[in-house]
Structure 1
Amino acid sequence: MSTVTLKGNKIHTSGELPEKGSAAPDFSLVKTDLSSVSLTDFKGNKVILNIFPSVDTGTCAASVRAFNKEASELKNTKVLCISRDLPFALSRFCGAEGLNNVVSLSDFKNHRFGKDYGLEFIDGPLEGLLSRVVIVLDENGKVLHAEQVPEIVDEPNYQAALNAIHA
């Protein structure tokens, strides 16, 4: 279990993030067209997992916008924006914002992703949602970088994630 804060108040997650050098767990998530996708579908590409509680909050929306901007310049890299928002909300947000360089995915269907990656909130006002986390994977799904943002209202360290892609 990890502890982060929400405006200074402690909340806990369901486990620990995958460790650097380990194989990331496979997943089944739902795209905005309601089809399913897994980590193996991205094999051969570097992958940035931008994980957040809800696209309907300012910080989460900012992270999707920031990674969308960066994704347009990354070669052989896919940016996956993952939350428990419904696919319809993710589609609405990205459509309204003109964000087409990221892949929006939802863990609403089976809730396995949050549990398997150890980042589901298990208490507090965001219980059941996903913690703000960035995980960078190599072309074979090996973890290059993992950051769980200690204060959930703060943005992730974009530069650290980008540095891991270029390392």
Structure 2
Amino acid sequence: MASVTFNQEEITLIGKEIRVGDPAPDFTVLSNHLDEVTLDNYKGKVKLITTVPSIDTGVCEEETIRFNKEADTIPNVQILTISMDLPFAQSRWCAANDIKKLDTLSDHRDASFGENYGMLVEELRLLARAIFVVDANNTITYVEYVNEITNHPNYEKALEAAKNA
């Protein structure tokens, strides 16, 4: 498993580490309207999936706003931001920040995404920060586990991977 820290303290990630070439594991998360969402909701699309500890914190906020702005530069790619935040909080945050070009999804109920993608932080029941690009055939084509959860991901590499998927 990737070595990940939170504020320079080692943390434990639950689940199997995902690698390039793996089939994308399915998951069940909730939309901001409390609808169940699975990988099949995005069938045939390239997906750029970001995981953040909480959308309402500095780095997570900047990351989500950045990917929302970049959405126009990667047509035919669906951007998903998944956190353990409640759908109500995500909806309110998206409205306050004019987020309309990506889907914010909540893993709070079952931690399905977190466990299936190896992102669930055991000590905090939050998701670690990572980016996954999944092609239209649901194969993982890019993975970045951010070593220190409070750091930003590599935006340029993720966007390039999504363009090339």
Among all aligned residue pairs of Structure 1 and Structure 2, give the percentage whose two residues are the same amino acid.
Answer: 38
Deviation at 1:72, TM superposition (A): 2.3
Q: For residues 127 and 2 of structure 2, what CA distance do their matches in structure 1 show?
A: 12
Following superposition of structure 1 onto structure 2, how do residues 17-96 of structure 1 map, counting pairs within 5 Å? Answer: 17-96=17-96
SS at 1:62 equivalent:
helix
Aligned residues: 164
Q: For residues 110 and 34 of structure 1, what CA distance do their matches in structure 2 show?
A: 13
Following superposition of structure 1 onto structure 2, how do residues 86-165 of structure 1 map, counting pairs within 5 Å? Answer: 86-123=86-123, 127-165=124-162
Q: For residues 103 and 146 of structure 1, what CA distance do their matches in structure 2 show?
A: 19
Q: Deviations over 1:71-124 (max 9, x none)?
A: 12221110001001000110011100101001010001111211111111112x
Q: For residues 128 and 60 of structure 1, what CA distance do their matches in structure 2 show?
A: 16
Q: For residues 109 and 8 of structure 2, what CA distance do their matches in structure 1 show?
A: 31
The 10-residue stretch of structure 1 (44-53 or 11-20) with the greater mean CA deviation from structure 2: 11-20
Deviation at 1:166, TM superposition (A): 2.2
Q: Deviations over 1:23-46 (max 9, x none)?
A: 110111100011111111101111
Code of the residue aligned with 2:118 in structure 1: it is: G
Q: For residues 95 and 17 of structure 2, what CA distance do their matches in structure 1 show?
A: 31
Q: For residues 46 and 95 of structure 2, what CA distance do their matches in structure 1 show?
A: 25
SS at 1:3 equivalent:
coil
Q: What are the ranges of 5 or more consecutive residues in structure 1 without an aligned counterpart?
A: none
Question: What's the Cα RMSD here?
Answer: 1.1
Q: For residues 166 and 64 of structure 1, what CA distance do their matches in structure 2 show?
A: 18
SS at 2:101 equivalent:
coil
Q: For residues 151 and 119 of structure 2, what CA distance do their matches in structure 1 show?
A: 16
Q: Which runs of 4+ in 1 moved over 2 A?
A: none
Q: For residues 80 and 129 of structure 2, what CA distance do their matches in structure 1 show?
A: 13
Q: Deviations over 1:102-160 (max 9, x none)?
A: 1010001111211111111112xxx2110001000101111010001001111111111
- TM-score normalised by length of structure 1: 0.94
SS at 1:135 equivalent:
strand
Q: What are the ranges of 5 or more consecutive residues in structure 2 without an aligned counterpart?
A: none
Code of the residue aligned with 1:133 in structure 2: it is: A
Code of the residue aligned with 1:153 in structure 2: it is: T
